[in-house]
Amino acid sequence: MLGLVSQPVLAEDGLDARQAAKILENIRPVGQVNVGGASAQAQTAAPAPAAASARSGADVYNGACMACHGTGAAGAPKVGDKAAWGPRAEMGVDGLLKSAVSGLNAMPPRGTCGDCSDDELKAAIEHMLKETGLL
């Protein structure tokens, strides 16, 4: 129903077909109510969507970490600053990951990458340490 109402509006807004399709996908209902008997039993669950591939450490850094770790904002150790990273590097990658996951000082939990997996955060930490010359 919402798709029928919103389709003409989307076309009038000058959106191309791809943009309109994406909007309609984002606002589509997440489920349906089935008040019938037999048809409810005949339906099967849809397959789970394929997992997205993990982002590289450089991708995570550029998208989520660089704002602070590229500038030193809010006291974040700046990539390339061995003096700032040295004591932290002694914690090891797993120790740094633990700090990144739980948050530290001005850095919120998971930094600014709330949708990053632990492996992606670890890759970003390794990237920063490599760029600093400590790994």
How far apart CA 76 and CA 85 sit, in angstroms, is 10
Determine which of 17-21, 46-50, 59-63, 103-107 has the lowest per-residue pLDDT on average: 46-50
Q: Can you give the residue range of the structural domain that contains 78?
A: 57-132
How far apart CA 86 and CA 92 sit, in angstroms, is 10
Quote the tokens at residue 24.
Answer: 């309609």
**Residue 36: inside a domain, yes or no?**
no
Q: Give the global pTM.
A: 0.62
**Residue 48: inside a domain, yes or no?**
no
Same-domain check for residues 23 and 62: no
Which carries the bigger pLDDT value, residue 129 or residue 10?
A: 129
Same-domain check for residues 78 and 125: yes
Give the closest residue to 115 by CA, choosing from 72, 52, 62, 73. Answer: 52
